[in-house]
Amino acid sequence: MNPRIEVVAIDCLMLRLFDEIAESNMPWMLAASERLRAIFADDLIDLVPSYTTLMVHYDGLALTPPQARERIDQALTDLRPETQRHGQRHVVPVWYDLSVGPELALLATRIGADVKEVIRRHSEHEYQVFALGFAPGFAFMGLVEEALAAPRLSTPRKRVAAGSVGIAERQTAAYPAQSPGGWNLIGRTPSALFDRDREGYSLMQPGDTVLFEAVSHAEFIRLGGDDTPQEAVV
C-alpha cells in the first residue's frame, strides 16, 4: 500500500492507496472506508470507493483542507484489514446464449475452444465487486482470467438490453437497465440489479462477491428473464 492524497476540488480529496488493481486490495479499501466514515462522521458528505482510490467529499463549511487531510492521516494510522469476510455473496443466474451474448463466439475463438468452455470459465470464478459506476446499480467486478479478457467493442452498441452480462478487459459486469454500451456480451441475467425500494438501491456493493451461475433458458424465463435477442452493433 502506497497512500497519497490528491486534490479533486475545494472540498474533495482523493486518497490513492494502490497503484494497481488487485483483488487483495479490497480488505484494505474496506478497512479504510470504515475508518474514514467514523472519523469524518457528520462532516462527510460522500465517500466513493473505486479499484485503488477513495474519494472523500467533506463539508467545506465545517473543515478546512488541512483539517480534512489530518483526518485522512488519522484514519490511516495503524490501519489493518479485518480478517473476517466482508460483504455479501451473491449467486447471479445467467442464461449464456448467442442470441443474448453475441460475443460468446468471439471469446471462444480467442481462447481456441468452444462456447461451453467460455461459459465454464466465466461461471466458475467468484468475482470481487470493486466499484459502482457508469449507471445506477452497475457493478464493476473482477478479475476475469487473462484468457477471457477482451477489449471493449470499437463501435459501442446504442442499446444493450437490461441484464446483459459482459466482459471488458479483465472486468465483468451486468447492465442494470437498457443503455448504450461497448462491453463484450456473453449472456443475460433475470436478476433485478437496481431497485429504488431496496436499501442501498444496488443489489451489489463494493466488497461483495459474485458467482455467476449458468441456467437453462426455461429457468431464465421462470425467473422473469427477457429473452429478446440482443440487437447487433449499428
Which domains does the chain carry?
4-76 (3.30.1360.40), 89-222 (2.40.100.10)
User: In the chain, what is the greatest distance between 2 CA atoms, to the nearest angstrom?
Assistant: 59
Q: In what order do the strands lie in the sheet with 184-188?
A: 89-94, 209-214, 126-132, 139-142, 171-174, 164-168, 184-188
pLDDT at 231: 81
Beta bridge partners of 194: 202
- Which bin fits 4, alpha (ψ -120 to 50), beta or left (φ > 0)? beta
Candidates 80, 94, 187, 181; CA nearest to 135 is 181
pLDDT at 1: 80
Determine the distance from the C-alpha atom of residue 214 to the mean position of all C-alpha atoms in its chain, rounded to a whole number.
20
Give the separation between CA 105 and CA 154, rounded to whole angstroms. 17
pLDDT at 103: 96
Which residue positions in the chain have pLDDT lower than 50? Answer: none
pLDDT at 82: 72
pLDDT at 134: 84
pLDDT at 185: 97
